[in-house]
Structure 1
């Protein structure tokens, strides 16, 4: 197996995030599913965008946020996703490159625009996401650069992408390339509703293609259709080599074979916006694993990054994560 030239390549929905702080009345008035990610059509996206107060706009999408986090730790990250040949597509591309993530996929000319996610952040720091996937949902196997995937130590696949047949084939293809190259394959469960929609197919992926799983307690329980987290973790441990289960303020749990290693959450000074917490947790873990760190040390990096990113609006880390990595890993 040739040495890797990248640490992580992520595959996901290439989305421009639009974040705004709103009150609870806004959520109720517009009939939004509080705390969830809801797919919306173009007309609904225009309507909701017009109703939102001004806020922050930046490249996003779960896997893209994670790749930004990996790069912020000093890692070598690349991204595979589909954007249109339009203004937001160029914003997305430029934004990723500015933070050190390689993204060389050309914009697609067609009727579908670049995806956007309208994120409403309520006073309790909960985020409600309404996403118009646009051209990102048409990601196919032909968009996957096999050489790029094979060049990375880790492939990280976003569960949110698993909503179209084209994207499913893209993920399967990327996983097969990574497996054949002897690389590590990770899947993030993304959202409880995603798990409900795709449970059976994801269980098949775990059995044959996935080495590492990321998810919160609710997602993991849903995956195995149990209410007891211990039972869910036992089932998960029988399917994959390694799993990282986030537990909110209680930190996270590293599942490594028969080992269960608790990792404390980092101290929170303020919770402003939970957007990107899971994404940055995964970034710290993946960076740590790429440096051959013990899984619990990698999870410690994830906890620090997650705590930092929820202390301000947006999913971009503002802390010097390179210094954090040096302090933890030496």
Structure 2
């Protein structure tokens, strides 16, 4: 273990992204909501993968993407996430270590296999995600190293991992350990929080004072609060979290820190190639 203090430890989905290009007609033919995210069973993932064109594989997952960005910016970071003892699991572990991210979570014996996200990118650069979480949703509190969490300035939690009971319990325990040690807890929302009763659980965590920094886009913030406007969302959330950060796509981003509001415009891009991981890398830059 390095003697250098950790800047961030993240807990999230350990997923290998499988990225291919397609046109809008492919999305329509397979009933895939453009720009959205849906969960797949292992069989559904196999069927979609068979229909996709040539693809490239790269380790991903929302919080893991953020740690890749933070490491590239020079931060000392670690990641906690569950893979299986299979080919994709070996790819994920290799990629984390190669990027300078500490990754010590022992693999599980498959099945279930390592999680994958089948990402389809249309000519306009929009990404449509189809995720089979598999082993990533088997993460338990036993995978946590309390000393590692206490050593990090920030514990960064991923909304995509919030739904399943086992990893949700692990993230809550990590948040409690971090708060007890006087560390910062950051939480990034996800589209999956709009499913079922996940919204109430996140609001409960916020009400309990376990979230110091909250990231989300406009759509996610509205779903979380039930508010109609961004200003209403800010009014509902900013008294409960120290720092509220809202991304707004082409309209830039805004942050409210203990009542002080700042807004920035989006940097112009001559051509949008691929929006995969855009919010994840924004969070990395903000935390850095």
TM-score range, shorter chain: over 0.9
CA distance in 2, matches of 1:57, 1:4: 31
3-state SS of 1:50 partner: helix
* TM-aligned CA deviation for residue 55 of structure 1: 2.1
* TM-aligned CA deviation for residue 269 of structure 1: 2.5
CA distance in 2, matches of 1:145, 1:26: 44
* 1:246–1:252 Cα contact (<8 Å) kept: yes
Aligned to 2:165: 165
Aligned to 1:194: 193
Aligned to 2:281: 280
Aligned to 2:256: 255
CA distance in 1, matches of 2:110, 2:285: 36
3-state SS of 1:147 partner: helix
3-state SS of 2:79 partner: strand
List runs of 5+ in structure 2 lacking aligned partners: none
CA distance in 2, matches of 1:201, 1:4: 35
* TM-aligned CA deviation for residue 257 of structure 1: 2.1
CA distance in 1, matches of 2:115, 2:7: 26
Where in structure 2 are the equivalents of 1:50-69 lying within 5 Å?
A: 50-69=50-69
Q: Deviations over 1:62-105 (max 9, x none)?
A: 00000000000011110000000111101000001111111011
Where in structure 2 are the equivalents of 1:162-311 lying within 5 Å?
A: 162-191=162-191, 193-197=192-196, 198-208=198-208, 209-287=210-288
Go from structure 1 to structure 2 and tell me whether the alpha carbon gap of 1:230 and 1:213 turns closer, same or farther (over 3 Å shift): same
Higher helix share: 1
* 1:69–1:284 Cα contact (<8 Å) kept: yes
Q: Deviations over 1:107-137 (max 9, x none)?
A: 1113210000000111121111111111111
Q: Deviations over 1:160-198 (max 9, x none)?
A: 00121111100101101111111100010122x423532
User: Which runs of at least 4 in structure 1 moved beyond 6 Å after TM superposition?
Assistant: none
CA distance in 1, matches of 2:271, 2:17: 22
Aligned to 1:88: 88
* 1:4–1:153 Cα contact (<8 Å) kept: no
Go from structure 1 to structure 2 and tell me whether the alpha carbon gap of 1:211 and 1:195 turns closer, same or farther (over 3 Å shift): farther
List runs of 5+ in structure 1 lacking aligned partners: 288-330
Q: CA RMSD in A?
A: 1.3
CA distance in 1, matches of 2:5, 2:207: 28
* 1:187–1:210 Cα contact (<8 Å) kept: yes
- With structure 2 as the length reference, what TM-score do the two structures score? 0.96
CA distance in 1, matches of 2:194, 2:261: 23
Aligned to 1:298: none
Count residues with an aligned counterpart. 284
Q: Does 2:126 match 1:139?
A: no
**Comparing 153-162 with 47-56, which one deviates more in the overlay?**
47-56
CA distance in 1, matches of 2:194, 2:30: 25
Aligned to 1:320: none
* 1:4–1:151 Cα contact (<8 Å) kept: no
